[in-house]
Amino acid sequence: MNTINNCFPAGTYKIRVRSYDESHILSEFSAEKTVKIKAAANGYKKKYDFSKVKAGDIIKFGSFEQDNDFTNGKEPIEWVVLAKGKKTMLVISKNTLTNLPYNTERKEITWENCTLRKWLNESFYTNAFNKQEKKKIKATTIENQDNPKYGIEGGKDTKDKIFLPSYDEMTQYGFDTGAGSYDQKRRVTPTAYAIAKGAAPSDVYPTLEGAPAYAYWLRTIGGTSEGDYAAYVNREGEDYAFGNVVDIRYGVRPMMYISIK
């Protein structure tokens, strides 16, 4: 029973058992039984206790197709801890996970109504996290600032579970404070799945770990009055304001707040 407690989340399970040795099945399945499993001190739930995690650490949380091999299932998502408070911490994915347009239609748009926000908070949230993980993800009021360089209005603030980094957030949390400057710390490599979806990383612009980098969206509105552009981080590590919202080449690098315990 101790072995079971260390492998499964707490709950009530219905099981049937059979005995076997290394080469032979020795019995048929038994009658169905109900088993209640308590959470062990070093068991399943411990993976969701981030009380000793520090800013800059990398955690695994949720899963998503990343190696572009659908036969072996989804891979754990790695997240970089950007900031940690008393109850929650802010994390951002270590890699870009896929490539999607900011909005599927080219028109005046802000983060509030774009299709990428909808995808993150519906499809991605639903499929990348299990029931216990969903309970730890905190819906948070997100500030959608005006573009700080061009003054284009960013629209209403939103309440999101999953979101993209903003222009300002890419000048905080250890990144270069100069908006528009090249910063290797902002460079990110796409997953194999994202590359299959159109990302084209370049060896000319390596990440701090030496991996080829490519561009990813920010949620901040772009630098034209027409409102059909969004900001992004280019592969050089520069915040750039002129990403056509329907461009499918740019990566998706989610952020979220999760509970520490």
Q: pLDDT tens for residues 80-121?
A: 999 999 999 999 999 999 999 999 999 999 999 999 999 999
Identify whether residues 132 and 221 lie together within a single domain.
yes
pLDDT tens sequence across 23-57: 556 677 778 788 665 554 443 444 688 999 999 99
Residue 227 banded pLDDT, cuts 50, 70, 90 = confident
Residue span of the structural domain in which 128 resides: 98-251
Phi and psi angles of residue 78, each rounded to the nearest 5 degrees, phi first: -95, 135
Residue reference for tokens 């905080």: 172
The helix/strand/coil state of 197 is coil
- Give the CA angle between residues 248, 223, 199 to the nearest 5°: 20
User: Does residue 48 sit within a domain?
Assistant: no
Cβ pair 163, 177 in contact under 8 A: no
The helix/strand/coil state of 163 is strand
Identify whether residues 126 and 216 lie together within a single domain.
yes
User: Does residue 89 sit within a domain?
Assistant: no
Residue type (1 letter), 252? V
Is residue 67 over pLDDT 70? Answer: yes
Identify whether residues 150 and 244 lie together within a single domain.
yes
Alpha carbons within 13 A on the beta-carbon side of 128: 26
Residue 180 banded pLDDT, cuts 50, 70, 90 = low
Residue 13 banded pLDDT, cuts 50, 70, 90 = low
Distance of alpha carbon 130 from alpha carbon 194, whole angstroms: 22
Residue 138 vs residues 43, 113, 121, 170: alpha-carbon distances, Å? 24, 20, 12, 21
User: Does residue 124 sit within a domain?
Assistant: yes
User: Does residue 151 sit within a domain?
Assistant: yes
